[in-house]
Structure 1
Amino acid sequence: MMLVELTAPALEALPVAGLRAHLRLGSGFEMAEDAAETAALAGFLRAAIATIEARTGKVLLARQFRLRLDDWRDPAAQPLPLAPVSSVDRVEIDDGAGQIVPVEPGLWRLLADSQRPALAPRGGAWLPGVPQGGSVTITFSAGFGPGWDAVPADLAQAVLLLAARYHEDRSFEGSQSALPFGVSALIERWRSVRMLGGRGATRGHS
């Protein structure tokens, strides 16, 4: 399995002003609002968002992803590894000989579950077969919404706390796997067992 992020959140969607205000309140000092400082804060926010998403399997800001599988995990309903999924944009099957065939939308549908969304067949018992040596690619859009106001309050607060931690400790290397207790507590209810799929699953990200 390979999961690739096709689009990234725009700078305008990141709560840079919120993080700046949070840091100012914590330190008691004003912060510069120049381009370099804004870029640095945006970098801490992107890192914090990536960490929270990896721990929860929830996509905070809407964007598009591509999932490639060697075969269906379950031809009756293929789990998608992220949530919430707003749409499945296309499904394509590679026959293993270089020919890629789009699967008609009338043959599949999205089961939009908040924890474990899935691609299911429409009008049949199984999803279309994947040839031996071939693969299937699902392009889908996921996320709570395009703007920060769509992100649930506890996840939004967790991102701010973690981004502030990254800002305060620039040399966070070696302890990135251990989240601060407050952050862990905020995201706990969103964590779920991520249902991946495919033979010989590996994850790619770009």
Structure 2
Amino acid sequence: MMLVEVTAPATEALPVAGLRDHLRLGTGFGMAEDAAETAALAGFLRAAIATIEARTGKVLLARQFRLRLAAWRDPEGQPLPLAPVEAVERVEIADAAGAVTVVDPAGYRLVPDMQRPVLEPAGTFLPAVPLGGFAAITFRAGFGAAWPQVPADLAQAVLLLAARYHEDRSFEGSAGALPFGVSALIERWRSVRVLGGRGDPRGRA
């Protein structure tokens, strides 16, 4: 399985002003200084968002992803590794020679779920993946395109973590355990991982 982030959140969608207020930083020191500070704060926010998303399996700001699979986990329903999923935009099947066929959207449907969304066939099975080929699912996931659409506890966790990154410019200690306040805020959003076994793709035993 290979998951690729096709698009990234626009800088304008990041809560730079909110982080600046949280840190009680001033403005108006000059265009160059303000631009450099904005870029630095945006970088801390992107790092914090990536960490929170990795820990929860939830996409905060909506964007496009592409999942490539050598075979379906279950031809009766393929779990998607992120949530919430807004839409499945494209499903492709490639053969061993690299020839790609776009699957008719009438042949599948998205079953939304906050823990484990699933791509299900409209009929009995998803289309077969040829030996040596692959299936690719392009989908859009996220709570919304604007920061106010992100749940309040996850948004606060991002600000707290970005502030920690700002204070610890070397990022020492940042790659390990999260600060307790951040962990508490994201706890209810953490996904139960079910992809390792052969149970139902919707999480049933």
Q: Same fold (TM over 0.5)?
A: yes
CA contact (8 A) 2:48 2:158 kept: yes
Deviation (angstroms), 1:98:
1.6
- Please tell me the residue identity of whatever aligns with 2:189: W
| Structure 1: gaps spanning 5 or more residues | 198-206
**Quick one: distance in 1 between partners of 2:61 and 2:147?**
7
**Quick one: distance in 2 between partners of 1:99 and 1:195?**
32
CA contact (8 A) 2:57 2:82 kept: yes
Does 1:42 find its partner at 2:42? Answer: yes
Counterpart position of 1:200: none
Deviations 1:131-157 (A, max 9, x none): 111100000000000000000000000
Does 1:107 find its partner at 2:107? Answer: yes
> Aligned with 1:189: secondary structure?
helix
> Aligned with 1:157: secondary structure?
helix
Comparing 40-49 with 93-102, which one deviates more in the overlay? 93-102
**Quick one: distance in 2 between partners of 1:80 and 1:69?**
11
Counterpart position of 2:89: 89
Q: 1:30 aligns with which of 23, 26, 32?
A: 26
CA contact (8 A) 1:79 1:195 kept: no
Return the TM-score normalized by structure 2: 0.90
Does 1:145 find its partner at 2:144? Answer: yes
Comparing 150-159 with 97-106, which one deviates more in the overlay? 97-106
| Structure 2: gaps spanning 5 or more residues | 197-205
- Aligned-pair identity (%): 77
> Aligned with 2:26: secondary structure?
coil
Distance 1:42 1:175, change over 3 A: closer
Report the count of equivalent residues: 192
Deviation (angstroms), 1:30:
2.8
Counterpart position of 2:21: 21
**Quick one: distance in 2 between partners of 1:77 and 1:177?**
35
**Quick one: distance in 1 between partners of 2:194 and 2:61?**
21
**Quick one: distance in 2 between partners of 1:82 and 1:177?**
22
- Please tell me the residue identity of whatever aligns with 1:72: W
Task: Tell me: higher relative CO, structure 1 or 2? Use CA pairs within 8 A at least 6 residues apart.
Answer: 1
Alignment of 1:45-194 (within 5 A): 45-122=45-122, 124-194=123-193
Deviation (angstroms), 1:175:
3.9
